[in-house]
A = this chain, B = another copy of it.
Amino acid sequence: MPWPQNIVLKEGNFALTKNFKVNISGNPNPRIFAGVTRFLRRLDGRTGLFFEQGFITKLNEFPNAELQINCTKSGKIGLYEDESYVVEITANQIKINATSDLGALHGLESLLQMLQNNSTSYYFPNAQIFDFPRFTWRGLMIDAARHFQPVDVIKRNLDGLAAMKMNVFHWHLVDDQGWRIEMKKHPKLTELASDGQYYTQQEIKDIVKYADERGILIVPEIDVPGHGSAILTAYPEIGSKFISLKTDFEKKNQGAAIVNYGIERNAGVFSPTLDPSNPKTYQLLSEFFDEVCPLFPGAYFHIGGDENEGKDWDENPKIQQFKKAHGLTTNHELQTYFTMQLVPMLKKHGKQLMGWEEIMTKNMSKDAIIHSWKGVNEGVLPGKSLVDAVKNGYKTVLSNGFYIDLMYPVASHYLTDPMPQNADLSAEEKARILGGEATMWTELASSTTLDSRIWPRTAAIAERLWSAEDIKHVANMRKRLENVSFRLEELGLTHIRNKEVILRNIANNQNTASLADFSNVCEPLKGYSRNKGGTEYQMYSPLTLFADACTPDATDALVFNNAVDAYLTNKTPENKAKVVVFFNKWISVNKDLKTLSANAPLVQSILPLAQKLNNASVALLLVLDNKSTLQKEELKKIVEQCNTKEHADVELAVYESLLKLI
């Protein structure tokens, strides 16, 4: 995963032994050496074979090695690179041939996924793979502004991206809730607007290098002109908020009337917006870019541009006057004026501007890349801006449908294709669709829970962006995803291991079994329904709760649903038993959770939900045994109790399946 473009399995195997060695030839970028060394260590960690080869540091070290890697040229980090590779496994040798080291690294990931075993040994099945990506932009965005994500969290996720053959990391570094970049010439930004949580320039360079070594382009984002609370906390003088000067003192001391902006602690869309009519705005932004751009060698810079509501612009007479003076009839046109000023600031550093879809208006430079994000929730046709963009001559990247922070099931992301099905697009227009990007906003994700919000679902998105269009069998994907998820652990990702950490805290160090069982049928509230209005959770509120231990695609829910379907199709005792086992489990979970709660206050909030599932289980057990004395309506009422979002920010993922049994 992602499934290769071409794979042919053959008879026989390549047996792995402790003598296994790797040799590299050709003209690769030196990043291949560390890459192959990491491959060797991971393979050795899985198999415990104690390989003799330690570090690989030069070309042609072991000309007779079992694994031969050849690259024609040095890979460049960026779009449109040839990332193809060929893996050929025969009984005595494995060959990876690739145009560049970027393809070779992909080939090594495929090889790791090919590892098989019997009861005593490990082998690779003989096979031939020829593989290349469908889209050139296969990205993940992490929001490090809402909840700061330390260096190690970013690094392990870069490892995850590389394992999934993704090649773009979009780093959302500035938002209302914080400025996260050390600024040597403008230290106020971190002093006043970061709570001390930011990346030093050295750390950024280190992460850029780490990404480069894994074939990943970093696209930084500074979100302007909206989402401006943090910037305006440091530089209130470039804010748009109008204050009518009332007292004489104020009128004489213009400075004293400057708005006091503050770091935003809630989630949502806020009015603090940069003033597009103020020359100082452009002067400062230009200076920011002068300091930040050189940290990122990549050719793209994301300037945000989303969710500017224009409230402060409308209320500010000076800005209204500016609009008139420049013949800008709408705020949208004013924003375009603003954005166009940034184009040369970035071009100076060899960077192309990218922004969320709001930056697209008739006057926007065609060089800009349009990041399509709106959909049903925003009251527009999903991906509409993507089609508009390519028809208007823009390159574009799709994120609508890939909002992994919203806790939707993996299948919904997997079946979202950046290439629209029914749009009438020319080949040229289609070519402007660069790919897609999973977006991990962090209003509700701490560094403890982030990985479980990103993985494993992002692996399915990776497959959508890499593999052929017709690879879209959900059940098959799910099966492979389970194994991929397990293997991602070896990269240090914590999506599996941290669940128990949260449950232990909730259980107050008592036995977590019943909590774990219950978490396997509960899912965090989806969309924007957890943290309604954005004010229930401040950015420093605890994310150590039951909802934080739960994930989309609750594991038992799927198994239960299949059991119910099988039973309803064919009411054999075996099929019945597979349903009954769950009901009995949930009845005892309810009992155990009650016991647990005697010494665990954090369990209290889930008890009502466990009770409701218990009640439905008891009632439906009687139905299955033909012993129910309840009217259908009464039964429905009991099951309907399970259709609730009122408890502990989770919902029961088995409700639909329960309904079927009435």
Select from chain B the residue with minimum beta-carbon distance to A448: B492
Give 24 pairs: A residue, B residue, CB < 8 Å, sorted on A.
A34-B196, A41-B542, A45-B544, A50-B537, A50-B542, A117-B599, A118-B599, A118-B601, A119-B597, A119-B598, A119-B599, A120-B604, A121-B601, A122-B601, A151-B152, A152-B152, A200-B202, A202-B202, A202-B203, A483-B509, A489-B501, A489-B505, A497-B498, A497-B500
Cβ-based interface call for A349 (8 A): no
A118 to B599, CA, bound (A): 6
Cβ-based interface call for A540 (8 A): yes
A151 to B500, CA, bound (A): 24
**Docked complex: A314-366 residues within 8 A CB-CB of B:** none
The reply to whether A601 and B120 form a contact with Cβ atoms under 8 Å apart is yes
The reply to whether A44 and B504 form a contact with Cβ atoms under 8 Å apart is no
Contacts A195-B55, A489-B501, A604-B119 given; does A544 touch B265 at CB 8 Å: no
Cβ-based interface call for A528 (8 A): no
Q: How far is the CB of A555 from chain B (nearest CB, A)?
A: 13
Cβ-based interface call for A281 (8 A): no
**Docked complex: A585-599 residues within 8 A CB-CB of B:** 597-599
Cβ-based interface call for A541 (8 A): yes
Cβ-based interface call for A290 (8 A): no
**Chain B residues whose CB sits within 8 angstroms of the CB of A538 once the complex forms:** 50, 54
Q: How far is the CB of A478 from chain B (nearest CB, A)?
A: 15
Cβ-based interface call for A48 (8 A): yes
A203 to B203, CA, bound (A): 8
**Chain B residues whose CB sits within 8 angstroms of the CB of A200 once the complex forms:** 202, 206
**Chain B residues whose CB sits within 8 angstroms of the CB of A500 once the complex forms:** 496-497, 500
Cβ-based interface call for A286 (8 A): no
Q: How far is the CB of A584 from chain B (nearest CB, A)?
A: 19
**Docked complex: A43-64 residues within 8 A CB-CB of B:** 44-50, 54-55
A309 to B196, CA, bound (A): 49
User: 11 more A-B contacts (CB under 8 A) besides A117-B601, A119-B600, A200-B206?
Assistant: A48-B542, A49-B542, A50-B542, A55-B195, A117-B600, A119-B598, A119-B601, A122-B601, A202-B203, A489-B505, A497-B498
Q: Mark A485-501, 1 if CB is under 8 A from B, else 0.
A: 01001101010111011
The reply to whether B508 and A541 form a contact with Cβ atoms under 8 Å apart is no
Residue among A152, A448, A508, A539 having the largest count of chain B Cβ atoms under 10 Å: A152
A361 to B119, CA, bound (A): 58
Q: How far is the CB of A16 from chain B (nearest CB, A)?
A: 10
A542 to B54, CA, bound (A): 11
Cβ-based interface call for A150 (8 A): yes
**Chain B residues whose CB sits within 8 angstroms of the CB of A150 once the complex forms:** 152
**Chain B residues whose CB sits within 8 angstroms of the CB of A117 once the complex forms:** 508, 599-601
Q: Mark A589-628, 1 if CB is under 8 A from B, else 0.
A: 0000000011111101000000000000000000000000
The reply to whether B504 and A489 form a contact with Cβ atoms under 8 Å apart is yes
Number of copies of this kind of chain in the complex: 2
A637 to B583, CA, bound (A): 48
Cβ-based interface call for A183 (8 A): no
Cβ-based interface call for A545 (8 A): yes
A482 to B505, CA, bound (A): 14
Q: How far is the CB of A541 from chain B (nearest CB, A)?
A: 5
Q: How far is the CB of A62 from chain B (nearest CB, A)?
A: 16
Q: How far is the CB of A48 from chain B (nearest CB, A)?
A: 5
A500 to B497, CA, bound (A): 7
Select from chain B the residue with minimum beta-carbon distance to A57: B195
A118 to B196, CA, bound (A): 36
Q: How far is the CB of A196 from chain B (nearest CB, A)?
A: 7
**Docked complex: A484-535 residues within 8 A CB-CB of B:** 486, 489-490, 492, 494, 496-498, 500-501, 504-505, 508-509
A540 to B597, CA, bound (A): 46
**Docked complex: A20-34 residues within 8 A CB-CB of B:** 34
Q: How far is the CB of A401 from chain B (nearest CB, A)?
A: 29
**Chain B residues whose CB sits within 8 angstroms of the CB of A602 once the complex forms:** 47-48
A544 to B41, CA, bound (A): 11
**Chain B residues whose CB sits within 8 angstroms of the CB of A539 once the complex forms:** 54
**Docked complex: A462-484 residues within 8 A CB-CB of B:** 482-483
**Chain B residues whose CB sits within 8 angstroms of the CB of A496 once the complex forms:** 500-501, 504
Select from chain B the residue with minimum beta-carbon distance to A486: B509
**Docked complex: A94-128 residues within 8 A CB-CB of B:** 117-122
Q: How far is the CB of A544 from chain B (nearest CB, A)?
A: 4
Q: How far is the CB of A46 from chain B (nearest CB, A)?
A: 6
Cross-chain contact of A497 among B118, B497, B601 (Cβ < 8 A): B497
4 closest A-B pairs by beta carbon, nearest first, are: A152-B152, A202-B202, A45-B544, A486-B509
**Docked complex: A243-285 residues within 8 A CB-CB of B:** 265
**Chain B residues whose CB sits within 8 angstroms of the CB of A501 once the complex forms:** 489, 496-497
